[in-house]
Amino acid sequence: MTLHPSSPRFSERRAFLASMAAALAAPGLAYAAGPASPAAALPDLGAAPEFTGIERWLNSEPLSLAQLRGRVVLVDFWTYACINCIRTLPHVNRWAEQYTPQGLTVVGVHTPEFPFERPTANVEAAMRRHGVKHPVAQDNRYGTWKAYSNQYWPATYLIDAQGRIRYKHFGEGEYERTEGVIRTLLSARG
């Protein structure tokens, strides 16, 4: 059935086809205008709590998130007798080595599970054994652990340059995803 250009149904059909064409073209137009920043796609999990209740800093002078503003910060909750933590350390160490010059600061927060993990000498020996060269906060009283409402070993939190938590992961694995988020947050720094 052919519609005459002067018929009302012809105009309705034309309007319908025009709206469909616009809807189908919209994704292409959005892409042509530039995709949204990958960092913008990450969730904003709130302001990162400050390091608190730290008994001692190892491999570093005391750090604060306020002084690290403008850098991407990876907070790694670990304890040296946890096999899952030990398995993550090579990845954390590599990220610290590879991305520190680009604006990443890795801070290990050693929060003991057992009393024998509390002595500084034991933590230092474990750090040497596992090649940990980045700053480590000794959180024997669980101050920072509680500030983050953390419940797991290991736990990774990535904080953007504005001090917002943008990613967290508990346990082993997701190393490629975590590294991808590190790169995304570093590139968003500008």
> Could you give the CA distance from residue 127 to residue 140 in angstroms, rounded to a whole number?
16
pLDDT at residue 39, rounded to an integer:
84
pLDDT digits (tens, 9 = 90+) for 179-190: 999 999 999 997
Q: What is the mean pLDDT of residues 96-112?
A: 98
pLDDT at 20 over 50: no
pLDDT at 8 over 90: no
- Is 123 within 8 Å of 80 (Cβ atoms)? yes
Q: What is the mean pLDDT of residues 56-84?
A: 98
Mention every residue, 6+ apart, whose C-beta is less than 8 A from residue 124.
Answer: 58
155: helix, strand or coil:
strand
Q: What is the mean pLDDT of residues 62-90?
A: 98
CA angle 93, 97, 103 (to 5 degrees): 115
Mean confidence (pLDDT) of the chain: 87
pTM for this entry: 0.80
pLDDT digits (tens, 9 = 90+) for 136-155: 999 999 999 999 999 999 99
> Could you give the CA distance from residue 146 to residue 80 in angstroms, rounded to a whole number?
19
pLDDT at residue 28, rounded to an integer:
38
Of 150 and 6, more confident: 150
pLDDT at residue 169, rounded to an integer:
98
pLDDT at residue 7, rounded to an integer:
53
The single-letter DSSP state of residue 60 is S
Tallying the residues shown for the chain, one arrives at 190
> Could you give the CA distance from residue 137 to residue 54 in angstroms, rounded to a whole number?
6
> Could you give the CA distance from residue 158 to residue 105 in angstroms, rounded to a whole number?
10
78-82, 95-99, 174-178, 186-190, range with the lowest pLDDT: 186-190
Instruction: Enumerate the H helices of the chain as residue ranges.
Output: 8-32, 83-99, 120-129, 143-147, 175-188
pLDDT at 51 over 60: yes
